[in-house]
Amino acid sequence: MLETDYSNAKLEATNKLIKDIKRLGFGFRNFINFRKRVFITLNIQKEKTYPVLSRY
């Protein structure tokens, strides 16, 4: 058995939260709504992107 000083507990907890959201949602209408719910629950903020103006 391989033993290390690292743990995957945070990843397992995140996976459980996502599975709970999926189970409680009783089927979201689309993937975008499901993704938004996961981000809100996990307090993940989407990186802001700024439009680039064309030179032409």
**The predicted structure's pLDDT at residue 20:** 85
Domain boundaries defined on the chain: 9-42
pLDDT for residue 4 is more than 70: yes
pLDDT digits (tens, 9 = 90+) for 12-53: 988 988 888 888 777 677 888 888 888 888 877 666 777 777
Closest to 24 (Cα-Cα) out of 8, 41, 9 = 41
45 Cβ contact partners less than 8 Å away, ≥ 6 residues apart: 39
**The predicted structure's pLDDT at residue 45:** 66
- Residue 26 is given by DSSP the state T
Put simply, whether the predicted model's pTM sits higher than 0.75 gets the answer: no
